[in-house]
Amino acid sequence: MTDNLLLRAARGQAVPHPPVWFMRQAGRSLPEYRAVRAGIGMLESCRRPDLVCEITLQPVRRHNVDAAILFSDIVVPLQAAGVDLDIVAGTGPVVASPVATMADVDSLPTLDPQAVGFVAESIRLLLAELGETALIGFAGAPFTLASYLVEGGPSRHHVKTKALMYGAPDVWHALCARLADITLTFLQVQADAGVHAVQLFDSWAGALSEADYRRFVLPHSRRVLDGIAGIPKIHFGVGTGELLPAMAEAGADVVGVDWRTPLDVAAARVPGKVLQGNLDPCVLFAPWEVVEQEALRVIAEGRKAPGHIFNLGHGVMPETDPDVLTRLVSLIHAS
Ligand code: CP3
Protein backbone atom coordinates (compact mmCIF):
# COMPACT_ATOMS: atom_id res chain seq x y z
CA MET A 1 0.00 0.00 0.00
CA THR A 2 2.91 2.41 0.60
CA ASP A 3 3.41 2.22 -3.18
CA ASN A 4 -0.15 3.28 -3.97
CA LEU A 5 -0.13 6.05 -6.57
CA LEU A 6 -2.23 8.42 -4.48
CA LEU A 7 0.01 8.08 -1.43
CA ARG A 8 3.14 8.54 -3.51
CA ALA A 9 1.77 11.68 -5.13
CA ALA A 10 0.55 13.03 -1.77
CA ARG A 11 4.10 12.68 -0.43
CA GLY A 12 5.51 14.45 -3.49
CA GLN A 13 7.20 11.26 -4.76
CA ALA A 14 7.60 10.46 -8.45
CA VAL A 15 4.59 8.87 -10.17
CA PRO A 16 4.21 7.74 -13.82
CA HIS A 17 0.96 9.72 -14.14
CA PRO A 18 -1.28 11.57 -11.68
CA PRO A 19 -3.51 9.43 -9.48
CA VAL A 20 -7.21 10.20 -9.92
CA TRP A 21 -10.38 10.07 -7.84
CA PHE A 22 -13.49 12.25 -7.80
CA MET A 23 -15.24 14.05 -4.98
CA ARG A 24 -18.79 12.60 -4.78
CA GLN A 25 -17.70 9.70 -7.01
CA ALA A 26 -20.17 7.55 -5.06
CA GLY A 27 -23.66 8.90 -5.44
CA ARG A 28 -26.51 9.70 -7.70
CA SER A 29 -24.54 9.70 -10.97
CA LEU A 30 -24.40 5.88 -10.61
CA PRO A 31 -27.50 3.77 -11.34
CA GLU A 32 -26.18 1.06 -9.01
CA TYR A 33 -26.11 3.68 -6.21
CA ARG A 34 -29.68 4.75 -6.87
CA ALA A 35 -30.68 1.06 -6.81
CA VAL A 36 -29.14 0.20 -3.41
CA ARG A 37 -30.32 3.47 -1.85
CA ALA A 38 -33.95 3.04 -2.97
CA GLY A 39 -36.20 3.49 0.06
CA ILE A 40 -33.31 3.99 2.52
CA GLY A 41 -32.60 7.44 3.98
CA MET A 42 -29.17 9.01 3.45
CA LEU A 43 -28.16 9.03 7.12
CA GLU A 44 -29.54 5.55 7.69
CA SER A 45 -27.44 4.23 4.79
CA CYS A 46 -24.35 5.90 6.33
CA ARG A 47 -24.94 3.92 9.54
CA ARG A 48 -25.08 0.51 7.81
CA PRO A 49 -21.57 -0.90 7.25
CA ASP A 50 -22.76 -3.33 4.55
CA LEU A 51 -24.24 -0.46 2.54
CA VAL A 52 -21.33 1.90 3.21
CA CYS A 53 -18.95 -0.79 1.95
CA GLU A 54 -20.98 -1.51 -1.19
CA ILE A 55 -21.55 2.17 -2.08
CA THR A 56 -17.90 3.11 -1.45
CA LEU A 57 -16.75 0.28 -3.74
CA GLN A 58 -19.15 1.03 -6.61
CA PRO A 59 -17.09 3.82 -8.24
CA VAL A 60 -13.87 1.86 -7.71
CA ARG A 61 -15.26 -1.13 -9.61
CA ARG A 62 -16.79 1.00 -12.33
CA HIS A 63 -14.19 3.71 -12.95
CA ASN A 64 -10.90 2.14 -11.77
CA VAL A 65 -10.09 5.25 -9.71
CA ASP A 66 -6.94 5.17 -7.55
CA ALA A 67 -8.79 5.92 -4.32
CA ALA A 68 -12.07 5.18 -2.64
CA ILE A 69 -13.64 7.79 -0.40
CA LEU A 70 -15.62 6.52 2.54
CA PHE A 71 -19.35 6.87 1.92
CA SER A 72 -20.59 9.11 4.71
CA ASP A 73 -21.40 12.78 5.19
CA ILE A 74 -19.97 15.74 7.07
CA VAL A 75 -23.02 15.81 9.37
CA VAL A 76 -22.76 12.10 10.35
CA PRO A 77 -20.59 12.79 13.46
CA LEU A 78 -22.97 15.57 14.55
CA GLN A 79 -25.95 13.27 14.36
CA ALA A 80 -24.04 10.45 16.06
CA ALA A 81 -23.17 12.86 18.90
CA GLY A 82 -26.86 13.61 19.35
CA VAL A 83 -27.58 16.75 17.30
CA ASP A 84 -31.12 16.54 15.90
CA LEU A 85 -30.67 16.83 12.12
CA ASP A 86 -31.48 15.07 8.86
CA ILE A 87 -30.30 15.09 5.26
CA VAL A 88 -33.25 15.99 3.06
CA ALA A 89 -32.99 14.71 -0.52
CA GLY A 90 -32.43 17.55 -2.97
CA THR A 91 -31.80 20.05 -0.15
CA GLY A 92 -29.01 18.82 2.11
CA PRO A 93 -28.54 18.87 5.89
CA VAL A 94 -31.40 20.40 7.93
CA VAL A 95 -30.90 21.11 11.66
CA ALA A 96 -33.91 21.06 14.03
CA SER A 97 -32.64 23.69 16.52
CA PRO A 98 -30.11 26.08 14.97
CA VAL A 99 -27.32 27.44 17.17
CA ALA A 100 -27.54 31.15 18.09
CA THR A 101 -26.36 31.72 21.68
CA MET A 102 -23.65 30.63 24.12
CA ALA A 103 -26.28 28.51 25.88
CA ASP A 104 -26.89 26.68 22.56
CA VAL A 105 -23.15 26.07 22.21
CA ASP A 106 -22.90 24.85 25.80
CA SER A 107 -25.66 22.33 25.20
CA LEU A 108 -23.97 20.81 22.13
CA PRO A 109 -22.95 17.21 22.80
CA THR A 110 -19.43 15.82 22.49
CA LEU A 111 -18.69 12.83 20.26
CA ASP A 112 -18.01 9.49 21.96
CA PRO A 113 -15.85 7.49 19.52
CA GLN A 114 -18.10 4.48 20.11
CA ALA A 115 -21.05 6.44 18.74
CA VAL A 116 -19.37 6.23 15.31
CA GLY A 117 -18.34 2.59 15.73
CA PHE A 118 -20.29 1.88 12.53
CA VAL A 119 -17.72 3.99 10.65
CA ALA A 120 -14.81 1.99 12.08
CA GLU A 121 -16.65 -1.23 11.18
CA SER A 122 -17.29 0.03 7.63
CA ILE A 123 -13.59 0.84 7.22
CA ARG A 124 -12.61 -2.65 8.40
CA LEU A 125 -14.93 -4.20 5.79
CA LEU A 126 -13.56 -1.89 3.10
CA LEU A 127 -9.89 -2.54 3.82
CA ALA A 128 -10.53 -6.25 3.38
CA GLU A 129 -11.98 -5.58 -0.09
CA LEU A 130 -9.91 -2.73 -1.48
CA GLY A 131 -6.52 -4.36 -2.13
CA GLU A 132 -4.14 -1.76 -3.56
CA THR A 133 -6.71 1.03 -3.82
CA ALA A 134 -6.27 3.75 -1.19
CA LEU A 135 -9.12 4.57 1.19
CA ILE A 136 -9.70 8.25 2.00
CA GLY A 137 -11.54 9.21 5.18
CA PHE A 138 -13.01 12.67 5.65
CA ALA A 139 -14.75 15.18 7.85
CA GLY A 140 -16.24 18.64 7.59
CA ALA A 141 -14.12 21.53 8.88
CA PRO A 142 -15.43 23.70 11.74
CA PHE A 143 -16.52 26.64 9.53
CA THR A 144 -18.57 24.55 7.09
CA LEU A 145 -20.17 22.54 9.93
CA ALA A 146 -20.87 25.77 11.86
CA SER A 147 -22.59 27.19 8.79
CA TYR A 148 -25.12 24.31 8.77
CA LEU A 149 -25.66 24.50 12.54
CA VAL A 150 -26.17 28.28 12.59
CA GLU A 151 -28.20 28.63 9.39
CA GLY A 152 -30.21 25.48 10.17
CA GLY A 153 -29.60 24.25 6.62
CA PRO A 154 -27.89 25.07 3.34
CA SER A 155 -27.27 28.78 2.77
CA ARG A 156 -26.23 30.94 -0.14
CA HIS A 157 -24.70 33.92 1.65
CA HIS A 158 -24.10 32.51 5.18
CA VAL A 159 -25.66 35.67 6.63
CA LYS A 160 -26.51 34.29 10.08
CA THR A 161 -23.15 32.55 10.30
CA LYS A 162 -21.26 35.76 9.56
CA ALA A 163 -23.55 37.79 11.84
CA LEU A 164 -22.63 35.45 14.72
CA MET A 165 -18.94 35.54 13.78
CA TYR A 166 -18.78 39.35 13.70
CA GLY A 167 -21.37 40.09 16.39
CA ALA A 168 -20.48 37.50 19.03
CA PRO A 169 -16.91 36.33 18.42
CA ASP A 170 -16.79 34.61 21.83
CA VAL A 171 -19.82 32.45 20.90
CA TRP A 172 -18.34 31.85 17.46
CA HIS A 173 -14.98 30.66 18.77
CA ALA A 174 -16.66 28.49 21.42
CA LEU A 175 -18.81 26.89 18.70
CA CYS A 176 -15.84 26.24 16.42
CA ALA A 177 -13.83 24.81 19.32
CA ARG A 178 -16.64 22.32 20.01
CA LEU A 179 -16.87 21.42 16.33
CA ALA A 180 -13.10 21.00 16.09
CA ASP A 181 -13.31 18.47 18.95
CA ILE A 182 -16.05 16.50 17.19
CA THR A 183 -14.26 16.62 13.84
CA LEU A 184 -10.96 15.54 15.33
CA THR A 185 -12.57 12.62 17.16
CA PHE A 186 -14.32 11.58 13.93
CA LEU A 187 -11.06 11.69 11.94
CA GLN A 188 -9.16 9.87 14.68
CA VAL A 189 -11.68 7.03 14.62
CA GLN A 190 -11.14 6.75 10.86
CA ALA A 191 -7.35 6.97 11.14
CA ASP A 192 -7.30 4.33 13.90
CA ALA A 193 -9.45 2.05 11.74
CA GLY A 194 -6.85 2.31 8.97
CA VAL A 195 -7.81 4.89 6.33
CA HIS A 196 -4.77 5.77 4.21
CA ALA A 197 -5.43 9.53 3.95
CA VAL A 198 -7.99 12.05 5.15
CA GLN A 199 -9.64 15.03 3.52
CA LEU A 200 -10.93 17.95 5.57
CA PHE A 201 -13.77 19.60 3.63
CA ASP A 202 -14.15 23.32 4.30
CA SER A 203 -16.47 23.60 1.34
CA TRP A 204 -17.92 27.02 2.14
CA ALA A 205 -14.80 28.77 3.51
CA GLY A 206 -14.54 30.64 0.20
CA ALA A 207 -17.33 32.91 1.48
CA LEU A 208 -14.75 34.61 3.74
CA SER A 209 -12.04 37.19 3.16
CA GLU A 210 -8.52 36.04 3.92
CA ALA A 211 -8.35 38.27 7.02
CA ASP A 212 -11.59 36.83 8.43
CA TYR A 213 -10.54 33.30 7.52
CA ARG A 214 -7.28 33.78 9.42
CA ARG A 215 -9.01 35.27 12.46
CA PHE A 216 -12.16 33.17 12.74
CA VAL A 217 -11.42 29.84 11.07
CA LEU A 218 -7.76 28.97 10.62
CA PRO A 219 -6.93 28.29 14.32
CA HIS A 220 -9.78 25.76 14.55
CA SER A 221 -8.96 23.97 11.30
CA ARG A 222 -5.29 23.91 12.31
CA ARG A 223 -6.16 22.21 15.60
CA VAL A 224 -7.98 19.49 13.67
CA LEU A 225 -5.22 18.96 11.11
CA ASP A 226 -2.46 19.07 13.75
CA GLY A 227 -4.29 16.34 15.65
CA ILE A 228 -3.89 13.82 12.84
CA ALA A 229 -0.41 12.39 12.20
CA GLY A 230 1.17 9.72 10.03
CA ILE A 231 -1.16 9.87 7.01
CA PRO A 232 -1.51 12.47 4.24
CA LYS A 233 -4.00 15.26 4.97
CA ILE A 234 -5.91 16.97 2.16
CA HIS A 235 -7.72 20.29 2.75
CA PHE A 236 -10.33 21.50 0.26
CA GLY A 237 -12.77 24.34 -0.19
CA VAL A 238 -14.71 25.97 -3.02
CA GLY A 239 -13.93 29.51 -4.20
CA THR A 240 -10.79 29.57 -2.07
CA GLY A 241 -8.29 30.95 -4.61
CA GLU A 242 -7.53 33.89 -2.28
CA LEU A 243 -7.37 31.61 0.77
CA LEU A 244 -4.98 28.96 -0.56
CA PRO A 245 -1.89 30.17 1.37
CA ALA A 246 -3.90 30.43 4.61
CA MET A 247 -5.50 27.01 4.07
CA ALA A 248 -2.05 25.54 3.42
CA GLU A 249 -0.87 27.06 6.72
CA ALA A 250 -3.68 25.24 8.52
CA GLY A 251 -1.50 22.15 8.18
CA ALA A 252 -2.49 20.16 5.12
CA ASP A 253 -0.01 18.18 3.01
CA VAL A 254 -2.24 18.48 -0.05
CA VAL A 255 -4.31 21.53 -0.95
CA GLY A 256 -7.50 21.01 -2.95
CA VAL A 257 -8.22 23.65 -5.60
CA ASP A 258 -11.53 24.38 -7.34
CA TRP A 259 -11.75 25.08 -11.09
CA ARG A 260 -11.48 28.87 -10.76
CA THR A 261 -7.74 28.91 -10.02
CA PRO A 262 -5.43 27.24 -12.56
CA LEU A 263 -3.11 24.76 -10.86
CA ASP A 264 0.03 26.56 -12.02
CA VAL A 265 -1.27 29.74 -10.36
CA ALA A 266 -2.19 27.75 -7.23
CA ALA A 267 1.29 26.17 -7.20
CA ALA A 268 2.86 29.63 -7.08
CA ARG A 269 0.57 30.60 -4.19
CA VAL A 270 1.40 27.55 -2.03
CA PRO A 271 5.01 26.66 -2.85
CA GLY A 272 6.00 23.15 -1.77
CA LYS A 273 2.43 21.84 -1.44
CA VAL A 274 0.99 18.97 -3.45
CA LEU A 275 -2.21 20.03 -5.23
CA GLN A 276 -5.48 18.22 -5.87
CA GLY A 277 -7.99 19.17 -8.56
CA ASN A 278 -9.38 20.81 -10.57
CA LEU A 279 -11.43 20.05 -13.69
CA ASP A 280 -14.71 21.99 -13.73
CA PRO A 281 -17.44 19.36 -13.07
CA CYS A 282 -19.52 21.08 -15.79
CA VAL A 283 -16.89 20.30 -18.44
CA LEU A 284 -18.05 16.66 -18.20
CA PHE A 285 -21.25 17.75 -19.99
CA ALA A 286 -19.29 19.03 -23.02
CA PRO A 287 -18.26 16.92 -26.05
CA TRP A 288 -15.45 14.41 -25.29
CA GLU A 289 -12.87 16.43 -27.27
CA VAL A 290 -13.39 19.32 -24.84
CA VAL A 291 -13.19 17.04 -21.79
CA GLU A 292 -9.92 15.63 -23.12
CA GLN A 293 -8.43 19.02 -23.90
CA GLU A 294 -9.39 20.47 -20.51
CA ALA A 295 -8.15 17.41 -18.58
CA LEU A 296 -4.80 17.55 -20.38
CA ARG A 297 -4.56 21.27 -19.57
CA VAL A 298 -5.17 20.49 -15.88
CA ILE A 299 -2.45 17.81 -15.97
CA ALA A 300 0.02 20.18 -17.66
CA GLU A 301 -0.68 22.95 -15.14
CA GLY A 302 -0.45 20.44 -12.26
CA ARG A 303 3.15 19.66 -13.26
CA LYS A 304 4.11 23.01 -11.73
CA ALA A 305 3.34 21.58 -8.26
CA PRO A 306 5.58 19.07 -6.40
CA GLY A 307 2.79 16.55 -6.82
CA HIS A 308 -0.68 16.44 -8.36
CA ILE A 309 -3.74 14.33 -7.56
CA PHE A 310 -6.26 14.65 -10.38
CA ASN A 311 -9.83 15.42 -9.27
CA LEU A 312 -12.70 17.67 -10.21
CA GLY A 313 -12.87 21.21 -8.84
CA HIS A 314 -15.89 20.13 -6.75
CA GLY A 315 -18.17 17.09 -6.54
CA VAL A 316 -19.56 15.02 -9.41
CA MET A 317 -23.00 16.37 -10.31
CA PRO A 318 -25.85 13.84 -10.14
CA GLU A 319 -26.69 14.29 -13.86
CA THR A 320 -23.14 13.37 -14.99
CA ASP A 321 -22.83 10.51 -17.49
CA PRO A 322 -20.77 7.96 -15.52
CA ASP A 323 -19.21 6.64 -18.76
CA VAL A 324 -17.49 10.01 -19.21
CA LEU A 325 -15.91 9.59 -15.76
CA THR A 326 -14.66 6.10 -16.65
CA ARG A 327 -13.18 7.40 -19.90
CA LEU A 328 -11.57 10.30 -18.04
CA VAL A 329 -9.84 7.91 -15.63
CA SER A 330 -8.41 5.98 -18.61
CA LEU A 331 -7.19 9.23 -20.15
CA ILE A 332 -5.43 10.28 -16.93
CA HIS A 333 -3.88 6.83 -16.54
CA ALA A 334 -2.54 6.98 -20.11
CA SER A 335 -1.15 10.51 -19.71
O1 CP3 B 1 -17.36 12.08 -2.15
C2 CP3 B 1 -17.91 11.00 -1.93
O3 CP3 B 1 -18.19 10.19 -2.83
C4 CP3 B 1 -18.14 10.57 -0.48
C5 CP3 B 1 -19.37 10.90 0.07
C6 CP3 B 1 -19.72 12.29 0.55
C7 CP3 B 1 -21.06 12.67 0.72
N8 CP3 B 1 -21.09 13.90 1.32
C9 CP3 B 1 -22.21 11.84 0.38
C10 CP3 B 1 -23.49 12.50 0.09
C11 CP3 B 1 -18.92 13.35 0.98
C12 CP3 B 1 -17.42 13.48 0.98
C13 CP3 B 1 -19.80 14.35 1.47
C14 CP3 B 1 -19.36 15.61 2.10
C15 CP3 B 1 -20.30 16.74 2.20
N16 CP3 B 1 -21.62 16.72 2.59
C17 CP3 B 1 -19.93 18.07 2.02
C18 CP3 B 1 -18.54 18.53 1.66
C19 CP3 B 1 -18.23 18.22 0.25
C20 CP3 B 1 -18.87 19.14 -0.75
O21 CP3 B 1 -19.65 18.64 -1.55
O22 CP3 B 1 -18.55 20.32 -0.71
C23 CP3 B 1 -21.05 18.87 2.25
C24 CP3 B 1 -21.13 20.36 2.12
C25 CP3 B 1 -22.12 18.00 2.62
C26 CP3 B 1 -23.51 18.37 3.00
C27 CP3 B 1 -24.46 17.72 2.06
N28 CP3 B 1 -24.87 16.41 2.16
C29 CP3 B 1 -25.03 18.26 0.87
C30 CP3 B 1 -24.86 19.68 0.38
C31 CP3 B 1 -25.79 17.23 0.27
C32 CP3 B 1 -26.51 17.24 -1.06
C33 CP3 B 1 -27.97 17.46 -0.95
C34 CP3 B 1 -28.65 17.05 -2.24
O35 CP3 B 1 -29.51 16.16 -2.18
O36 CP3 B 1 -28.32 17.58 -3.31
C37 CP3 B 1 -25.67 16.10 1.09
C38 CP3 B 1 -26.26 14.78 0.86
C39 CP3 B 1 -25.31 13.78 0.29
N40 CP3 B 1 -24.10 13.49 0.83
C41 CP3 B 1 -25.53 12.94 -0.83
C42 CP3 B 1 -24.40 12.13 -0.95
C43 CP3 B 1 -24.15 11.03 -1.94
C44 CP3 B 1 -26.78 12.89 -1.65
C45 CP3 B 1 -27.75 12.01 -0.92
C46 CP3 B 1 -28.70 11.28 -1.83
O47 CP3 B 1 -28.26 10.33 -2.51
O48 CP3 B 1 -29.87 11.64 -1.81
User: Which ligand 1 atom sits closest to the C-alpha of 26?
Assistant: 3
Is residue 213 flagged as an active site residue?
no
Mutate to test the pocket of ligand 1, among 55, 74, 276 (most ligand atoms within 8 A of CB): 74
β partners of residue 235: 200, 255
- Residues counted in the chain: 335
pLDDT of residue 2: 67
pLDDT of residue 3: 82
Is residue 24 flagged as an active site residue?
yes
Rounded to 10 deg, the angle between the 159-167 and 169-193 helix axes is 110
Mutate to test the pocket of ligand 1, among 25, 47, 56, 87 (most ligand atoms within 8 A of CB): 87
Ligand 1 centroid – CA 73 distance (Å): 6
Ligand 1 centroid – CA 15 distance (Å): 30
Q: Is 26 in the pocket of ligand 1 (CB under 6 A)?
A: yes
- Name the closest-CA residue to atom 35, ligand 1: 90
Q: How far is CA 83 from CA 109, 176, 178, 189, in A?
A: 7, 15, 13, 19
Ligand 1 centroid – CA 42 distance (Å): 9
Q: Give tens-digit pLDDT for 211-238.
A: 999 999 999 999 999 999 999 999 999 9
Those residues whose C-beta lies under 8 Å from the C-beta of residue 289, and which sit 6 or more positions away, are: none
- Name the closest-CA residue to atom 9, ligand 1: 73
Is residue 148 flagged as an active site residue?
yes
Angle at 231 between CA 179 and CA 246, to 5 degrees: 55
Percent of the chain predicted with pLDDT > 90: 99
pLDDT < 50: residue spans in the chain:
none
Is residue 28 flagged as an active site residue?
yes
Is residue 176 within 8 Å of residue 150, measured between CB atoms? no
User: Which ligand 1 atom sits closest to the C-alpha of 56?
Assistant: 3
Ligand 1 centroid – CA 27 distance (Å): 8
Type and span of the H or E element at 254: strand 254-256
Rounded to 10 deg, the angle between the 169-193 and 142-151 helix axes is 120
